[in-house]
Amino acid sequence: MEGYSNREKNDLEIDGDKEHSVSMLREPFLVRNRKNNTSQIAIVGANTCPIESLDYEIAENELFKQDWRSRKKAEIFQYVVLKWTLALFIGLGTGLVGFFNNLAIENIAGFKLLVTNNLMLKDKYYQAFATYAGCNVVLAIAAAALCAYVAPAAAGSGIPEVKAYLNGVDAPSILAPATLFVKIFGSIFGVAAGFVVGKEGPMVHTGACIASFLGQGGSRKYHLTWKWLRYFKNDRDRRDLITCGSAAGVAAAFRAPVGGVLFALEEAASWWRSALLWRTFFTTAVVAVVLRSLVEFCRTGKCGLFGQGGLIMFDVNSTKATYSTPDLLAVMFLGVIGGVFGSFYNYCVDKALRTYSIINERGPSFKILLVIVISLLTSCCSYGLPWLSQCIPCPPHLAEQCPTESRSGNFKNFQCPPNHYNNLASLFFNTNDDAIRILFTSGSEKEFHLSTLLVFFVAIFCLGIVTYGIAVPSGLFIPVILAGASYGRLVGTLLGPLSNLDVGLFALLGAASFLGGTMRMTVSLCVILLELTNDLLMLPLMMLVLLISKSVADIFNKGVYDQIMKIKGLPYMETHAEPYMRHLIASDVVSGPLISFSGVEKVGNILHVLRVTRHNGFPVIDEPPYSDAPELCGLVLRSHLLVLLKGKKFTKQRVKTGSDIVRGFKAHDFAKAGSGKGVKLKDLEITEEEMEMYIDLHPIANTSPYTVVESMSLAKAAVLFRELGLRHLCVVSKTPGVRLSHCSYTC
């Protein structure tokens, strides 16, 4: 019997008449009336989804073997060189896009803040608010319109989608060229609009889209293709390139090349090997070099209002990182707070996403309306809350100007008289990167009232929740870092008499604790924050606070990206088996009927099966006279059958014609289609006469499919399925002489 994993059960329901007609086909070893004895324990754990899977397994058929045998050393060398060349291009492309994003955001947001600040200096407060809110709404509408009408898949962070793709989920349009375009410009407009979102998550998605675009040889749909990239038209090579792209995205967002590699290893990728590690490291190194060169160029003043913002680098190594036992206790307390707040934040984001999904399902106009409402709310909070703060006299002997007159700075005048500043406005009326930089400043240079930190934390915490889920590209890193740095500095101020640690270090550790509590990453976050702050002496405290916050948060719920994947219906196979799987064997979770083909099959039978099912693969079973006894010959893919049928290498007699097929096709004819259209069932034009002919499936059948015995533990089979990145797993019988009892697939 044939069983399907949780991913395709919803898609493969066939009505009774069709199922009956399929069962009438000749199916070796099929027990047609066998009942499904699947345990109800397994059904409880099922998570059905219509999204198809990727096929990371190499189809080792005759055409593939012939192609590899015919390749010369020069072609093999070209394949290896192309891998490294693509890694180079991915790094260059992601680095340039990352710099362009930051340059555009800093100039657009800087101009908006500069105009608003100039109006406020002239006491034109109502005009200032109208200008500020109007600019935010226009930018928000631009971002929302792109997401609503051009590429809906570009909304949100993009990290859950990339993580699901690397786990084997082929969700539609998540890496399309249109998604890449909207991700870049939507992120620019969304962040410049003042939303409490980051550009870091979208940068990961952007890097993955760039890698996918290059790896599939461009896009046939947009008439951008490169024939010399035909070697990479398979899911396995694309997976490696997209892993490099996701790492490059982190490196471009944080200027953290090593952190990018570790992020891909710890959070994004489900499959890893040493060769991939080298290429990923090379890609992030290219990103680091590109960004370094461009930042040096901008220091000459040729980048407009770029200033110190963007490409965040927080230098907090001016403080001494010496600590005692009370300091360690304070850090542990901060870790507990981060775990509690992080799990609560995830819970609230989950509820907000479920609520917004009801609104967004009503259509693009409702998506844009929701974005406008959140934009006005954010503008009111950013402009209105600083009025609650008191004016503070400028400290004497400052190296920088006070109050600040430019678009960025630590001392915003807002509504205060000359030589005074509003410290809450210094946080709200800046770009998010500048606000983080201010919070990380040591206490001797910048003092915040407790009420300021409390108001800012509550506002950012709530705005971050209500903003994520609207139709704009939005990352979670920056809101979480802002909120964590706020309560970290608040705790540092309260514990000042008991601890020797600087409040700036408390802000950094607070950000780390909140990141650990929401995202549940440890190693990669630790390295990213160390690369951001350029302070290696903080390593022990950073490790401690991340371990504690993650452990505490795991008690309550899962990480935010895991929750988002579940809400979006993206199935994800964990590294470990579920507990109920220990009580089941492989044959318990297969259902029928099994649909298979003979080695030489009638064209009409193949076409009928393709029409009435959506299965991705079919067992090929040889029978006498082609073999002494019925035996499993291999596995043939649906896409390969379509290509073979379109080629019309048919015969009137039921004979093997493998040599003719091998001569008539090339291996790249069966390569997976890119963004353009592959061969579809509707493209086939088969006559009634041809329906009665036969075709040899041996040359395109994968002769070495992965198989397990029916008595294997389901837990062990699931781990094998996940670790090898399989889409099909054949379950064979233990009974002598019966080679195949059922075949389990995931589509």
User: What does the pLDDT read at residue 60?
Assistant: 84
Contact (Cβ atoms closer than 8 angstroms) between residue 235 and residue 54: yes
How does pLDDT run across 611-622, given as a tens digit for each residue? 998 888 899 988
Contact (Cβ atoms closer than 8 angstroms) between residue 280 and residue 264: yes
How does pLDDT run across 58-102, given as a tens digit for each residue? 888 888 888 777 878 887 888 888 889 999 999 999 999 999 998
Has residue 135 got a pLDDT over 70?
yes
Mean pLDDT of 725-742: 71
Has residue 36 got a pLDDT over 70?
no
User: What does the pLDDT read at residue 574?
Assistant: 87
Question: Collapsing DSSP states into helix, strand and coil, what is residue 578?
Answer: coil
User: Residue 8's pLDDT band (boundaries 50, 70, 90)?
Assistant: very low
- Check residue 198 and report its DSSP letter: B
Phi and psi of 210, rounded to 5°?
A: -60, -45
pLDDT above 90 coverage of the chain, percent = 40
Which is higher by pLDDT, 443 or 643? Answer: 643
Has residue 313 got a pLDDT over 50?
yes
User: What does the pLDDT read at residue 740?
Assistant: 47
User: What does the pLDDT read at residue 377?
Assistant: 96
User: What does the pLDDT read at residue 41?
Assistant: 33
Mean pLDDT of 360-364: 91
**The length of the chain, given as a count of residues:** 747
Which is higher by pLDDT, 50 or 699? Answer: 699
Mean pLDDT of 283-302: 88
Has residue 4 got a pLDDT over 70?
no
User: What does the pLDDT read at residue 261?
Assistant: 96
User: Residue 446's pLDDT band (boundaries 50, 70, 90)?
Assistant: low
Highest mean pLDDT among 316-320, 382-386, 458-462: 458-462
Lowest pLDDT segment from 306-320, 383-397, 458-472: 306-320
User: What does the pLDDT read at residue 27?
Assistant: 37
Give the count of alpha carbons within 13 A of 521, CB side only: 24
- Check residue 88 and report its DSSP letter: H
User: What does the pLDDT read at residue 401?
Assistant: 67
Q: What is the pTM (predicted TM-score) of this model?
A: 0.86
User: Residue 319's pLDDT band (boundaries 50, 70, 90)?
Assistant: low
Has residue 407 got a pLDDT over 60?
no
Cβ-based neighbours of 232, under 8 Å, separated by 6 or more: 82, 86, 215, 216, 217, 238, 241
User: What does the pLDDT read at residue 12?
Assistant: 34
Mean pLDDT of 460-467: 96
If we measure between CA atoms, which residue out of 66, 235, 57 comes closest to residue 730?
A: 57
Highest mean pLDDT among 8-22, 88-102, 217-231, 292-306: 88-102
If we measure between CA atoms, which residue out of 207, 189, 298 comes closest to residue 247?
A: 207
User: Residue 29's pLDDT band (boundaries 50, 70, 90)?
Assistant: very low
Q: What is the mean pLDDT of the chain?
A: 82
Look-up: residue for tokens 């979208």?
202
User: Residue 545's pLDDT band (boundaries 50, 70, 90)?
Assistant: very high
Mean pLDDT of 341-350: 96
Mean pLDDT of 342-370: 94
User: Residue 257's pLDDT band (boundaries 50, 70, 90)?
Assistant: very high
Has residue 460 got a pLDDT over 90?
yes
User: What does the pLDDT read at residue 747?
Assistant: 39
Highest mean pLDDT among 214-218, 498-502, 521-525: 521-525
User: What does the pLDDT read at residue 338?
Assistant: 96
User: What does the pLDDT read at residue 16?
Assistant: 40
User: Residue 47's pLDDT band (boundaries 50, 70, 90)?
Assistant: very low
User: What does the pLDDT read at residue 1?
Assistant: 35
- Strands across the sheet containing 617-622: 597-598, 617-622, 631-637
Has residue 506 got a pLDDT over 70?
yes
Has residue 226 got a pLDDT over 70?
no
Has residue 291 got a pLDDT over 60?
yes
Q: Which residues, in sequence order, are bridge partners of residue 619?
A: 635
Cα(644)–Cα(679) distance, rounded to whole angstroms? Answer: 10
What are the respective helix, strand and coil percentages of the chain, to the nearest 5? 60, 10, 35
User: What does the pLDDT read at residue 449?
Assistant: 86
Has residue 741 got a pLDDT over 50?
no
User: What does the pLDDT read at residue 220?
Assistant: 58
- The torsion region of residue 726 among left (phi > 0), alpha (psi -120 to 50) and beta comes to beta
Has residue 164 got a pLDDT over 60?
yes
Highest mean pLDDT among 278-292, 647-661, 718-732: 278-292
Has residue 625 got a pLDDT over 50?
yes
Question: Collapsing DSSP states into helix, strand and coil, what is residue 299?
Answer: coil
User: Residue 549's pLDDT band (boundaries 50, 70, 90)?
Assistant: very high
- Check residue 248 and report its DSSP letter: H
**Beta-carbon neighbour count of residue 561 at 10 Å?**
25
Which is higher by pLDDT, 575 or 407? Answer: 575
Cα(249)–Cα(90) distance, rounded to whole angstroms? Answer: 10
User: What does the pLDDT read at residue 308?
Assistant: 52
Which is higher by pLDDT, 623 or 559? Answer: 559
Which is higher by pLDDT, 303 or 740? Answer: 303
Lowest pLDDT segment from 208-212, 316-320, 422-426: 316-320
The token pair at 450 is 């407790």
User: What does the pLDDT read at residue 148?
Assistant: 93
User: Residue 393's pLDDT band (boundaries 50, 70, 90)?
Assistant: confident
